[in-house]
Amino acid sequence: MSGAWLVLPTYNEAENLESMIAAVLPRLAESGVEHHVLVVDDGSPDGTGRIADRLASEHPEVEVLHRAAKAGLGPAYLEGFGHALAAGAEYLLEMDADFSHDPGELPRLIQGAADADLVIGSRYVAGGGVENWGLVRRALSRGGCLYARALLRVPVRDLTGGFKCFRREVLSTLDLSRVAADGYGFQIEMTYRTLKAGFRVREVPIVFHERRAGQSKMSATIALEALWKVPALRLKGRGDRRPQCRSEGSRQGWRRSLSSDARQHNPRGEPPMVGSVPDVTDSNFQAQVIEADGPVLVDFWAPWCGPCRVVGPVLEEINDERDDLQVVKLNVDDNPQTAQSYGVMSIPTMIVFKHGQEAHKVVGAMPKGRLEQELEPILA
Ligand SMILES: Nc1nc2c(ncn2[C@@H]2O[C@H](COP(=O)(O)OP(=O)(O)O)[C@@H](O)[C@H]2O)c(=O)[nH]1
Ligand SMILES: [Mg+2]
């Protein structure tokens, strides 16, 4: 493993890049982890790429990826992530190369990832903010985040910001080849998918500054595109859920899957089911279920299980309607340990946990009304 990789996308940042590198290197060093900076330049006509090459020859921590032409922020980050993952990065950081994001916050973002999988530098939590923005820009950015948050039903307040630290597990789990959005939409999509895959997301307050030199590359079109694509993102998330059909009996498939490579049932490497019900995994089960404040219903499912497909939408509805119960799902193919330790022998099985203890187990698909009857005494 090779510590923290800061990915800096640049397009015409000739005036900012050298001072950015000078500012970020000591801050990364402060965080105490081994660190690298990867500049991803899209053939900037102002010569940013040449400056980046010179800086790379002066600083062993700096590397440069040259892309032929301007192809957008999202694709630039994805290529940078791919390079950093291949080099063994443990923490992958996003940051604008124009001083909008304070290099002084880098150690806090990295430290925050000690017990979170994605740390977001957030303008819209207590202590965060924006400097020198007019009322209209403020309202557009805030409104955009509120709109995306409401539509996607996620608890994150700053969905469009680009100052982030991902743990390696997130980016190696998400199928990055399916991330299609660009600009602000890219930021929304990455955070949404991270949450839906069951990872822990934390926001830490930051103040966003006006860029120091040069001009913004984001246009009103990119901002509007992000907004109109949000509903599609939700639908696309639902598409992710489309299960693989298997002809074998589900019990047989389940038994086999416990002892064999989980991925064999998911040969295309599809991401986990996505909807309003988040996924939990063997590794975050303790934090998300056992240590949860209120009751949690865990739906044990697998993509090849027909009856699970019947239960899925019922649980989505129950999750949306009830404030007194949190519903999560666990793919038994990918997470056999938890399923085995709770004696889940067939699926779907739903277990309600209260204060970390198994309070009630329901086995098999059933209509919504009956499931609610089963739950009533436990939640009363
Ligand atoms: N490589 C690459 N970087 C980009 C592209 N578009 C924007 N950037 C960089 O992404 C960062 C954020 O862009 P910026 O224009 O500052 O967005 P704003 O802060 O929302 O106005 C800056 O470092 C830009 O240089 C692109 O198409 N390719
Ligand atoms: Mg900027």
* 298 and 360 inside one domain: yes
Name the residue among 354, 281, 317, 288 with its Cα closest to residue 153. 317
Structural domain includes residue 126: yes
182 Cβ below 6 A of ligand 1 = no
- Ligand 2 ion local residues (Cβ < 5 A): 96, 98, 100, 211
Ligand nearest to the CA of 161: 1
User: What is the residue with the minimal CA distance to atom 16 of ligand 1?
Assistant: 216
- C-alpha 45 – ligand 1 centre gap (Å): 14
* 208 and 71 inside one domain: yes
Atom of ligand 1 nearest to the CA of 97: 23
Which one of 247, 272, 305 terminates a domain? Answer: 247
* 330 and 198 inside one domain: no
Name the residue among 300, 308, 295 with its Cα closest to residue 341. 300
**Phi–psi pair at 121, nearest 5 degrees:** -75, 115
Tens digits of residue pLDDT in 264-307: 333 333 333 346 788 899 999 999 999 988 899 999 998 888 88
Contacts for 127-136: CB closer than 8 Å, 24+ residues apart? 127/205, 128/158, 128/203, 128/205, 128/206, 128/207, 129/205, 129/207, 129/208, 130/207, 130/208, 131/207, 131/208, 131/209, 131/210, 132/209, 132/210, 133/210
Which one of 195, 224, 247 terminates a domain? Answer: 247
Bridge-partner residues for 329, per DSSP? Answer: 279, 299
CA 317 from centroid of its chain's CA atoms: 23
* 8 and 93 inside one domain: yes
Residue 129 and residue 202 in contact, taking contact as beta carbons nearer than 8 Å:
no
Which one of 200, 231, 247 terminates a domain? Answer: 247
User: What is the residue with the minimal CA distance to atom 6 of ligand 1?
Assistant: 73
CATH number, position 303:
3.40.30.10
Atom of ligand 1 nearest to the CA of 184: 20
- C-alpha 345 – ligand 1 centre gap (Å): 51
- d(C-alpha 340, C-alpha 169), whole Å: 23
Ligand nearest to the CA of 12: 1
The predicted model scores a pTM of 0.67
* 242 and 291 inside one domain: no
Q: Is 376 exposed, middle or buried (0-12, 13-18, 19+ CB in 10 A)?
A: exposed
* 169 and 41 inside one domain: yes
- d(C-alpha 309, C-alpha 319), whole Å: 16
Domain that holds residue 204: 4-247
* 84 and 180 inside one domain: yes
- C-alpha 126 – ligand 1 centre gap (Å): 26
- d(C-alpha 94, C-alpha 96), whole Å: 7
Structural domain includes residue 275: no
Structural domain includes residue 221: yes
* 188 and 319 inside one domain: no
Structural domain includes residue 166: yes
* 303 and 243 inside one domain: no
- d(C-alpha 62, C-alpha 130), whole Å: 29
* 208 and 354 inside one domain: no
Number of domains in the chain: 2
Walk along the chain (380 residues) and give the pLDDT tens digit of each residue: 569 999 999 999 999 999 999 999 999 999 999 999 999 999 999 999 999 999 999 999 999 999 999 999 999 999 999 999 999 999 999 999 999 999 999 999 999 999 899 999 999 998 899 998 989 889 999 999 999 999 998 989 999 999 999 999 999 999 888 888 889 999 999 999 999 888 899 999 999 999 999 999 988 888 888 888 898 887 654 433 322 222 223 333 322 222 222 333 333 333 333 467 888 999 999 999 999 888 999 999 988 888 888 899 899 889 888 888 999 999 998 898 999 899 888 889 999 999 999 999 999 989 899 999 999 999 88
CATH number, position 105:
3.90.550.10
Ligand nearest to the CA of 15: 1
* 20 and 137 inside one domain: yes
Structural domain includes residue 269: no
* 374 and 292 inside one domain: yes
Structural domain includes residue 60: yes
Structural domain includes residue 276: no
Stated as kind and residue range, the H or E segment containing 240 is helix 220-240
Residue to probe by mutation, ligand 1, list 18, 73, 130, most atoms within 8 Å of CB: 73
Residue to probe by mutation, ligand 1, list 6, 7, 8, 11, most atoms within 8 Å of CB: 11
Structural domain includes residue 210: yes
